[in-house]
Amino acid sequence: SSSKPNTIPIMKTVACLAALVGSAAAFAPAQQGASSTALSGAFDNEIGVQAPLGFFDPLGYLQDEDQERFEHLRWVELKHGRVAMLGVVGYLTTYAGIRFPGAEDVPAGFAALPAVPGMVWAQFIATVALMEAANRSQEDTDGVKAGWKPEFQGDFRNGFVDFGWDKQSDAWKKNKRTIELNQGRAAQMGLLGLMVHDQLGNIKTILPLGPQ
């Protein structure tokens, strides 16, 4: 009989190659003679452009692009960061053994994918679709405070939830937006790390307080 292939060395190799490719892209020299609004410093004062990397665009997504394109990519980054923060919290919560009623037998991590009933998957997809439709600026929607406009892409207060934001200074707002952006960046890396270690089979090493 054939033995089951050992996938752990393969996963380790893939993870190492991905890290090497990312490092190579990060430190690759910029193309000489290429005109770029990014290289000219057009985005150097934007939120999230900070030490030690400064304006970091190794793949050239913003080469010769305008402010509108930058704002779109910034919103995409912010959105991915928000989802990743929820993902990290959800992963740690389920790994700690906390479950919704009726889901006590569902494991954590990738092992949960085949264990989740089809009806739950349908509810999950419907919830994501509803959130996609609702989590956006609704200034043109009936019932929203007249004259309200978002300050930036991702501002979903819609004239309703404020928590004193409008009373704060521009410097305070910039600081809070920077914190959210950086937390989202860290969460994206953290969630990726959890997923990789889950596949490598050593998740218990980095989460020793979970079920053994």
Which pLDDT value is given to residue 45?
Answer: 81
Per residue in 4-19, pLDDT (tens digit) is 445 444 554 545 455 4
| pLDDT reading at 70 higher than 60 | yes
* pLDDT (0 to 100) of residue 38: 44
pLDDT of 32 strictly over 80: no
Model pLDDT for residues 161-195, shown as the tens digit of each residue: 777 888 889 999 999 999 999 999 999 999 999 99
Q: What are the tens digits of pLDDT across the range 120-168?
A: 899 999 999 988 887 776 766 666 667 677 788 887 777 677 778 888 8
SS3 sequence of 43-98? CCCCCCCECCCECCCCCCCCCCCCHHHHHHHHHHHHHHHHHHHHHHHHHHHHHCCC
Non-local CB neighbours of 158 within 8 Å, separated by 6+ positions: 137, 138, 139, 141, 144, 145, 148
Reported pTM = 0.72
pLDDT in tens, 39-53: 446 788 888 888 888
Name beta bridge partners: 54: 50
| Predicted confidence (pLDDT) per residue in 19-30, tens digit | 444 434 333 333
| Res 117 pLDDT > 80 | yes
Residue 30: per-residue pLDDT: 37
Q: Please give the biggest Cα pair distance in the chain.
A: 72
